[in-house]
Amino acid sequence: MPVINQELARIFDRIADALELKGETGFRVFAYRKAARVLADLTEDVGELDKANRLETIPGIGAGIAKKIHEYLTTGRMKKLEEAVSGLEPGLFTLLEIPGVGPKTVKLVFEKLGVKDLDGLKKVLGDGSLAKLPGMGDKKAENILKGIEAAEHSGERMYLNEADELAQSIIEHLRKGPQVKKVAVAGSLRRGKETIGDIDILATGDNPQEIIHQFITYSFVRQVVSAGDTKASILVGTGTGVRQVDLRVVASDAFGAALQYFTGSKDHNIALRSMAQKLGLKISEYGVFKGKRRLGGKTETEVYRSLGLPYIEPELREDRGEIEAAKRGSLPKLIRLEDIKSDLHIHTDASDGSSSLEEVVGACRQRGYSHIAIAEHSVSAGYAGGLREDELLKRCDEIDRFNSKLKGFRVLKSAEVDIMTNGKLDYSESTLARLDLVITSIHQGFTKDATSRICSAIAHPLVHLIAHPSGRLIGKRRGYEIDLEKVIEHAARFHKVLEINSYYARLDLNDIWARKAKEAGVLLAINTDAHAVVDLNWMRYGVITGRRAWLGKKDVINCLPLDNLMKLLYQITRRSV
């Protein structure tokens, strides 16, 4: 994502915080927050949009905010920001990050006790002066202390796989309680976002209190944040930090409405609810209502139908045009995990993987695949056991022999060929010509002209596929300095395939860029980049990312039967010559 977008998103969030700290509430604050969210999600550079005078075409950005963005881009300053934060101690903003502490509390302790930062807050908690303030008390002070502790121990957002596994474990625990009739994941995990903050779980059953009890007795609970009649929050200790998990218990005839509500996203729901209002309806987590009459809510389909809409898949619910598409009847039919027939980027113990070819093939057959591509690293990836040319050719012979003994399954000869800093590929043409599938990617020189190197790889007549095109590692590394817009354009021109790498820390291309690729007419591959048999499970995260990118099975080459794939690979190299 363009850095400037993130910077502006932070600025508008800061303005919203500042306004709240000064006692302002309501819709202006809400508008700044919305603008921040929209900017953080935007792939296009706001600088470009500003130049083209198109800022106001973005929903959530109106004349006022567009003007402020322009001001910041041209002068490096924003009067509104300076005005908003003036008179506020910088440390106060940090206090807002403590769970359970909001603007009112910060304002109160600042005005009454002169608290300016975290240390100041700890002091007034310690000496008991906070508890004596009006509206405060011992319990509140204790909860704020717990909040500080939680904030200090909480990790960053979770990777999709960690959230997925934790949620499954808790759901399993809930199912052990005899009272649970139905249980489901909601929230951003259900939408398949690449990182997850909290986990939301929804359950229904005859005895809500017992379900809540079952929930808060999960073995890894560190702290019960709250536990009422219909909802509870716990903090769970995992290997990587402390994670919050929320449970809601709802009536079974409102399960669909609740699932819809708690799946979000916030923006999607706000858009739906506004639509409902215009139709004289009200949608809540309890159902769809006309006046006091309840029209439905047992299933999500019922909720959408009440608005005259078809069911919208959770991965699409980001208010990125899905509601408009639903109105037009032009929602995409999304790819499913069952549509995947192959994994086209797998490493074995011949380079830096840990499973053998036989183990990989066995596991892939079990998954119902009909073919795979084995793609070891190339020679200059020495750190990853990259194969020399002669080793690769020998490996090709082995695979040929292996295939001759296989029935109903085929291993494609491939390699993940490094794009060198000079833009050349790591193997000679004659070696590349021996491969069924030529994958290329960057593993070195991230700042050295990545765009033109990838573009020259795309133009290379023997290349089929670009793996992890942006090079990012979520939460760890920003990725190459690369113009993905240009890469996609180039891929479209040369009919090359771009990868969605399913490794949970990559998910590269991400949902937004993969959608742009599709819109540009580029085919995508969804591969695990597995280095061991267990990693083959990551396919699920790649497919979810593909679904978030509005991909159908015809957009993804892993859904092709072997013959059609071979034909396509042949055409790709023919066409680009």
Partner DNA sequence: GCCGTTTTCGGCCCGACTGTTTTCAGTCG
CB of 254 to DNA, least distance (A): 11
And the tokens for 403? 């295939």
Q: Compare residues 318 and 555 and give the one whose CB is closer to DNA.
A: 318
Distance of CA 331 to the CA centre of its chain: 20
Q: How far apart are CB 286 and DNA at their closest, in Å? A: 6
Number of helical (H) and strand (E) elements in the chain, helices listed first: 24, 17
Q: Which of these segments, 55-63, 456-464, 499-507, 532-540, binds DNA (CB under 7 A)?
A: 55-63
Q: Which two tokens stand for residue 363?
A: 């596991």
**Per the structure block, which two tokens stand in for 203?**
């359950």
Burial code (b: 16+ CB inside 10 Å, e: under 16) for 135-149 equals ebeeebbebbbbbbe
Q: Shortest Cβ distance from residue 246 to DNA (Å)?
A: 6
CA 374/CA 350 separation, integer angstroms? 10
**CB within 8 Å of 282: residues ≥ 6 apart:** 273, 276, 288, 289, 290
Could you say which residues in the range 199-238 bind DNA, by CB under 7 A? Answer: 200, 226-231
Q: Which residue in the set 87, 135, 291, 408 belongs to the binding site for DNA (CB under 7 A)?
A: 135
The least distance separating DNA from the CB of residue 66, rounded to whole angstroms, comes to 6
Q: Is 534 exposed, middle or buried (0-12, 13-18, 19+ CB in 10 A)?
A: exposed
Interface pick for DNA out of 7, 10, 28, 429 (rule CB under 7 A): 28
Establish how many alpha carbons lie within 13 A of residue 45's alpha carbon, considering only the half-sphere containing its beta carbon. Answer: 12
State yes or no: residue 198 binds DNA (CB under 7 A): yes
Residue closer to DNA by CB (options 98, 158) is: 98
Rounded least distance, CB 230 to DNA, Å: 4
Longest dimension (CA), the chain: 81
| Cα 436 from Cα 414, distance rounded (Å) | 6
Q: How far is the CB of 565 from DNA (least distance, A)?
A: 41
By CB under 7 A, residue 140 contacts DNA: yes
Measured from the CB atom, the residue of 201 and 543 that comes closer to DNA is 201
Q: Mark 168-197 with x for binding to DNA (rule: CB under 7 A) and - for no binding.
A: -------------------x----------
Please provide residue 419's backbone torsions phi and psi, each rounded to the nearest 5 degrees: -95, 115
Give Cα 465 distance to the centre of its chain.
23
d(CA 452, CA 458): 10
> Mind giving me the DSSP string for 198-263?
SEEEEEEES-HHHHHHHHHT-TTEEEEEEE-SSEEEEEEEETTEEEEEEEEEE-GGGHHHHHHHHH
For 65, the enclosing helix (H) or strand (E) is: helix 63-75
Out of 3, 27, 401, 408, the residue judged to bind DNA by CB under 7 A? 27
Residue 536 has phi, psi (to 5 degrees) of: -60, -25
Which of 7, 10, 24, 30 is the binder for DNA (CB under 7 A)? 30
Length of the chain: 577
Contact call for residue 60 and DNA (CB under 7 A): yes
Backbone phi, then psi, for 199, in 5-degree steps? -100, 130
* Backbone angles phi and psi of 101, in degrees to 5: -110, 125
Token output for 246: 């929320």
Strands of the sheet containing 287-290, edge to edge, are: 282-284, 287-290, 293-296
Shortest Å, Cβ 189 to DNA = 11
Residue with smaller CB distance to DNA, 275 or 520: 275
- Interaction with DNA in 143-162: which residues (CB under 7 A)? 143
Size of the site for DNA (CB under 7 A): 62
Pick the closer one to DNA by CB: 102 or 475. Answer: 102
Which of 8, 36, 61, 125 is in the footprint of DNA by CB under 7 A?
A: 61
Of residues 270 and 459, the one with the C-beta less far from DNA:
270
Closest CB to DNA among 235 and 549?
A: 235
Closest CA to 506 of 486, 534, 526: 526
Q: Which of 14, 37, 80, 268 binds DNA (CB under 7 A)?
A: 80
The piece of 127-135, 152-160, 437-445, 563-571 that touches DNA (CB under 7 A) is 127-135
Q: How far apart are the C-alpha atoms of 534 and 359, rounded to whole Å?
A: 11
Site for DNA in 88-117 (CB under 7 A): 98-106
Stretch near DNA under the rule CB under 7 A, chosen from 26-34, 376-384, 402-410, 538-546: 26-34
- CB closer to DNA, 230 vs 403: 230
* Site membership for DNA, residue 137 (CB under 7 A): yes
Q: Which is nearer to DNA, 70 or 367 (CB)?
A: 70
- Minimum CB separation of residue 264 from DNA in Å reads 8
Interacting positions 240-259 with DNA (CB under 7 A): 244, 246
With respect to DNA, which residue has the nearer C-beta, 25 or 356?
25
**Which span sits near DNA by CB under 7 A: 32-40, 176-184, 487-495, 556-564?**
32-40
- Taking the complex as a whole, how short is the minimal distance between the CB of residue 566 and DNA, in angstroms? 46
Residues 165-186: b if buried by 16+ CB within 10 A, e if exposed = ebbeebbebbeebebbeebbbb
State the nearest-atom distance from the C-beta of 456 to DNA, in Å. Answer: 40
CB of 190 vs DNA, minimal distance in Å: 12
Between 296 and 461, CB nearer to DNA: 296
Q: Does 65 bind DNA (CB under 7 A)?
A: yes
The label of the residue with tokens 């006692």 reads 23
Both structure tokens of 138: 């011992």
Q: Which of residues 267-296 bind DNA (CB under 7 A)?
A: 269-270, 273-274, 277-278, 282-286
Residue number with CB closer to DNA (258 or 412): 258
Task: Report the interface residues with DNA, using CB under 7 A.
Answer: 26-28, 30-32, 34-35, 56, 58-66, 80, 98-106, 131, 134-141, 143, 187, 198, 200, 226-231, 244, 246, 262, 266, 269-270, 273-274, 277-278, 282-286
